[in-house]
Amino acid sequence: SKDIIKHFYKEIPILGVCLGHQCIGEVFGAEVINSGVVIHGKTSKIYHDGKSIFTGVENPFEAARYHSLILKRDTIPSSLEVTARTEDDIVMGVRHKNYKLEGIQFHPESFLTPDGLKILKNFICL
C-alpha cells in the first residue's frame, strides 16, 4: 500500500509489482490512468535499461501482463526514472534515483515471464 511505501522506502528495498508499481508512482506524484485496453494473461516484449533488477536479463524479454491501469509517462516525477517500457512506449518499470525502490507493471512471478526469476533474484541482491 501507499502508506507502507511512504513509511519504509528510505529504510528497506521495496519492489512494487503491478498495483505496487502504480502505488510507487502515485506516492511520488505520477498519475495512474486507464490504459484503454484490458490486458490479462497476455505477454509483451519489455525493453529495459539493463541496470539493477534488469542486470543480465535479455533485452527485450517477454513478460506477463495483467492490468488495465498504467502510469502516465509525462507525469512521472524527476525522483523516478523509467527503467522499462513496451514497444509502444507504455511504462513497465520505474526506479527511485536515490533509494532501493523499484516498480514493475508486469508480473515476474508468472510462468509467462521466463526471466522473472532472474529479476526477483536481482532484487534480493540489491
Annotated catalytic residues are 18, 107, 109
Cross-strand bridge partners of residue 96: 80
d(CA 94, CA 124): 17
Cα separation, 86 vs 62, whole angstroms: 10
Contact 17, 104 (CB under 8 A): yes
